[in-house]
Amino acid sequence: MTARALIIESRFYDDIADMLLAGATAALQKRRFAYEIITVPGVLEIAPALAIAMSSARRKDMSYELYVALGCVIRGETGHYDIVAGEGNRALVDLVVANRLALGNGILTVENGEQAYVRADPARKNKGGDAAEAAIALFDLRAQLNQ
């Protein structure tokens, strides 16, 4: 049976999201993980989408073995950046720890668009691929410890 991954991506910045997704899916395909994608508008919607997906998967008896969160928060002129970056990640970490999830966090928190492009681009920093690799590492760790 093939392990299943769920990618939850924020599409607030479509071009950055495309690059993050390309990196993540390439890493999952390399290890032959099946995956599904859920799209949400912004980073603050990632954790609630994860909670909804987990609840729905339990009811339908179709669970995921690993998760990848993708998104980008670029600092602007107001304090909204701090709320989105901090609270979005806090909610995600709370879910991950409470439910012992193998999740790779590919939510970029950057000062400007150039930093985002460099980090998202699969040919450069490939943070989408790194997030998928982190989820895979936790998946492997769980398998190793459950032997």
Is 109 labeled as ligand-binding?
A: no
Is 73 labeled as ligand-binding?
A: yes
Q: Three-class SS string for the chain?
A: CCCEEEEEEECCCHHHHHHHHHHHHHHHHHCCCEEEEEEECCHHHHHHHHHHHHHHHHHCCCCCCEEEEEEEEECCCCCHHHHHHHHHHHHHHHHHHHHCCCEEEEEEEECCHHHHHHHHCCCCCCHHHHHHHHHHHHHHHHHHHCC
Is 145 labeled as ligand-binding?
A: no
The yes-or-no answer on residue 80 being catalytic is yes
Is 119 labeled as ligand-binding?
A: yes
Q: Of 30, 58, 80, 124, which residue is the catalytic one?
A: 80
Is 68 labeled as ligand-binding?
A: no
Is 72 labeled as ligand-binding?
A: yes
Indicate which residues carry an active-site annotation: 80
Would you list which residues are annotated within the binding site? Answer: 12, 43-45, 72-74, 77-78, 105, 119
Binding residues for (2S)-2-hydroxy-3-oxobutyl phosphate: 77-78, 119
What residues are designated binding site for 5-amino-6-(D-ribitylamino)uracil? 12, 43-45, 72-74, 105
